[in-house]
């Protein structure tokens, strides 16, 4: 069977999923439909409906679009079955019921932004950076009942630089995902693909990657500076690490470790050192962190030097 004959249904929603769909469409693969989330209400009263990035791309290319509220809806399942897809591909979508993922003769594979079995879950890129990893990647694997546990088809690895934030890693993985998805499809069409059960991988790390909530993003200053630094870049620019000052929220987007400036052990963690003009430093357990970009509650995000033209920090100021 050729790639022009091989029928594919693609499922995805955010920007990350657009690159793989684009690689399939521009590569001449036969994408017979795109499944994505229903349009999201936007605006003050929710009166404006915002289509997902995947839907916007699918509209541009004239692809059939399906937006079920519930993936077990009998009408959706029947419409999906009528497409007679040979394969389904999932990139950054929802958990599928078995009636959906088991439907095509070649099954359904997922492209996940980690080196499985490490970082199963909703936020693998964030947690890889937060945990100070020096490597991550993309994995394609066949879906089965338990989330992110299916047999691995292929992986590609990339380094994480110590200065990378989650946006940089996200964009690099997004580009690679398109290449790995098309490579995986080719191997399935050609009958050359092999799978590896995740539980057969020796010395596998099973670090989880749970969904990130607002409380997850609060900075704990009572730990080594490297931990705080990785935490900040692992959440930058979105959803952003935050702390409080005088009861108000402060988001921190960029920071650096003052390696040659040991922290005064007598000062509580979170203590602020500031010259009122060019720098703002915060004490962690073992060193100072120099804050480069932040956002006070109700204000715009800005470099520290710009902020200090209008904001003043007292001698006893402290982030908590």
pLDDT at 311: 82
Residue 282 has pLDDT above 80, yes or no: yes
Each residue of 3-19: pLDDT tens digit? 999 999 999 999 999 99
Q: Any idea of the CA torsion for 139, 140, 141, 145, to the nearest 10 degrees?
A: 80
Q: Averaged over 224-238, what is the pLDDT?
A: 97
What band does 155 get if pLDDT is binned at 50, 70 and 90?
very high
pLDDT at 166: 98
pLDDT at 265: 79
Q: What is the mean pLDDT of the chain?
A: 95
Q: Averaged over 290-295, what is the pLDDT?
A: 96
Please state, in angstroms and as integers, the Cα–Cα distance from residue 30 to each residue in 8, 79, 86, 102, following that order. 6, 18, 10, 20
User: Which pTM does this prediction carry?
Assistant: 0.94
What band does 203 get if pLDDT is binned at 50, 70 and 90?
confident
Higher pLDDT among residues 249 and 49, named by residue: 249
pLDDT at 45: 67
* Report for 45-54, 73-82, 298-307: range of highest mean pLDDT: 73-82
Contact indicator for 55, 61 with CB cutoff of 8 Å? no
End-to-end CA distance of the chain: 61
Q: Averaged over 310-315, what is the pLDDT?
A: 82
pLDDT at 190: 96
Each residue of 89-143: pLDDT tens digit? 999 999 999 999 999 999 999 999 999 999 999 999 999 999 999 999 999 999 9
What band does 296 get if pLDDT is binned at 50, 70 and 90?
very high
């Amino acid at each position: 069977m050729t790639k022009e004959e091989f029928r594919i249904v693609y499922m995805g929603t955010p920007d990350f999923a657009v690159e793989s769909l684009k690689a399939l469409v521009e590569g001449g693969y036969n994408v017979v439909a795109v499944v994505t989330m229903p349009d999201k209400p936007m605006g003050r009263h929710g009166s404006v409906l915002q289509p997902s990035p995947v839907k916007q791309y699918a509209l541009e290319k004239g692809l059939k679009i399906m937006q079920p509220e519930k993936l077990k809806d009998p009408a959706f399942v029947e419409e999906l079955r009528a497409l007679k897809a040979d394969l389904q591909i999932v990139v950054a979508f929802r958990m599928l019921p078995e009636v959906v993922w088991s439907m095509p003769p070649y099954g359904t594979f997922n492209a996940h932004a980690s080196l499985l079995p490490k970082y199963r879950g909703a936020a693998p890129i964030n947690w890889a950076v937060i945990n100070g990893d020096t490597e991550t990647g993309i994995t394609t694997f066949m879906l089965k009942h338990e989330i992110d546990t299916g047999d691995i088809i292929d992986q590609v690895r990339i380094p994480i630089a110590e200065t990378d934030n989650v946006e940089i890693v996200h964009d690099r993985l997004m580009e690679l995902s398109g290449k790995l998805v098309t490579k995986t499809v080719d191997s399935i069409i050609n009958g050359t693909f092999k799978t590896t059960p995740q539980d057969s991988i020796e010395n596998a790390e099973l670090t989880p990657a749970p969904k990130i909530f607002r409380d997850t993003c609060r900075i704990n200053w009572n730990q080594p500076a490297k931990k705080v630094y990785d935490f900040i870049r692992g959440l930058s620019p979105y959803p952003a690490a935050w702390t409080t000052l005088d009861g108000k929220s402060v988001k921190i987007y960029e920071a650096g470790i003052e390696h040659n400036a040991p922290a005064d052990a007598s000062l509580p963690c979170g203590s602020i050192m500031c010259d009122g003009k060019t720098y703002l430093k915060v004490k962690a357990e073992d060193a100072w962190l120099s804050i480069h970009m932040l956002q006070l509650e109700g204000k715009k995000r800005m470099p520290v030097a710009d902020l200090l033209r209008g904001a003043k920090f007292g001698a006893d100021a402290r982030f908590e």
